[in-house]
Structure formats: C-alpha cells, structure tokens
Amino acid sequence: MPKKPQIPLKDIMAAIDKKDRGFYDRLSAEQKKAFSAWMMMRYCSSVQGRDAANYIFMTNELVNYQFMEVSKHPELQWLLLSACGTGKIQFHPYLKPPNARKKKNKIFEFIYGIFPYMKAEDINHLISLNTTSELKELATSHGYDDKSIKDIFGK
C-alpha cells in the first residue's frame, strides 16, 4: 500500500504560489523531515500558463543557483521557493520522479568491458553495424564461455 504523503503537494504548491513565508515554520518536525526542497524546486518550475517563464526564471535564479550551498538550511530553501510565487494559484503538472535504476544493456556493457576507452556513441555504432553472431564471435575470441555468451545475448 502506498505511503500517504506527509505534506500534500497541493498545499505546498499553493503556499509557494501565494508566497506564504511562514508555511515551513508551521510544519511539524516530522513534516519538516519529509520536506524535499529539490523536488519542490522541480514542481515550482513546472507551471502551465502565461506565468511559466516567470516561474522558470525565478526558480533557476533564486533556488537552483548555489542549491548545494544552502542544502543544510531548509528554511532558507523554503523562503527562496516562496519568493518564486506570483501571488495567485497556478497549475503545476505532475512530474514523474527520476528513476534511479536504469535498464542495463548487457551487450553495451560487454563491449564496454572489452573496450573501456571507447565512447558510448562509438559502442552504439559498433553494436548497430555488427550482427549478433559477429558479436558472439567477438565474445568467444575474448574467452567468454557459452554460459556467459548466452547471458549477454540471450538465446
């Protein structure tokens, strides 16, 4: 079952839009721990409508600039976020959080293991120019056993 958010996103975005400077101070200790200025910065800069350019500019200039320098001061981060608002409620579309786990391409990893100094673009070209059987031959010539080759290429 999904965990209920500590602070509803709608409330946070409304507080930013209305420039509510005291919103962070009114949060409980548990809610303050759950507050993520980085995620709020992403939502703050995504506004649909005629004020979108203002939000993007203000978020980048105030919040994103030297973000890591103020990362230990969440109240200051909140004050910077609240300075980005226009005074009226805006529509902030849902943003999918970044996925930390990327699918690994086993063939790409295999080629990279053989040629570690090759650029990613060149590895992708090598894969596209060669057939699977040619790449399997390359693996065999580099001492890979049948089980490893099957794991890399499947089938």
Rg (C-alpha) for the chain, rounded Å, is 24
- Cβ atoms of 79 and 10 closer than 8 Å: no
Tokens coding 40: 């709020």
Q: Give 10-residue mean pLDDT values along the chain (155 residues).
A: 70 91 91 86 86 88 87 90 89 72 76 88 90 92 90 84
pLDDT (0 to 100) of residue 95: 75
- Which residue, 41, 66, 82, sits at the end of a domain? 82
Predicted confidence at residue 21, as pLDDT, reads 92
| Among 21, 47, 82, residue at a domain's last position | 82
Residue 92 within a domain: no
Q: Which residues pair with residue 91 across a beta bridge?
A: 48
**75 plus 22 within the same structural domain:** yes
Q: So what's the pLDDT on residue 50? A: 87
Question: Do residues 70 and 122 share a domain?
Answer: no
The predicted pLDDT at position 116 comes to: 85
Q: Are residues 78 and 118 in the same domain?
A: no
CB 19 within 8 A of CB 82: yes
Do 78 and 113 share a domain, yes or no? no
Name the burial class of residue 43, with classes exposed (0-12), middle (13-18) and buried (19+) by CB atoms within 10 angstroms of its CB. buried
Asked whether residue 57 is assigned to any structural domain, the reply reads: yes
For residues 68 and 110, membership in a common domain is answered with: no
- Hey, what amino acid is at 54? N
| Whole-angstrom distance, CA of residue 102 vs CA of residue 38 | 21
Whether 36 and 75 map to the same domain: the answer is yes
- Is the domain of 66 the same as that of 118? no
Asked if 55 and 41 count as a contact pair (C-beta separation under 8 A), the reply is no
- Which of 30, 48, 82 delimits the end of a domain? 82
Q: Is residue 148 part of a domain?
A: yes
Instruction: Give me the number of domains the chain comprises.
Output: 2
> What pLDDT sits at residue 18?
93
* Cβ neighbour number for residue 19 with a 10 Å cutoff: 16
| 129: containing domain | 106-153
Handedness of CA 47, 53, 56, 61 (dihedral sign): negative
- pTM, to two decimals: 0.59
Q: Check whether residue 76 and residue 110 sit in a common domain.
A: no
Assess whether 76 and 114 both reside in one domain: no
- Domain contains 122: yes
Tokens linked to 144: 């890979």
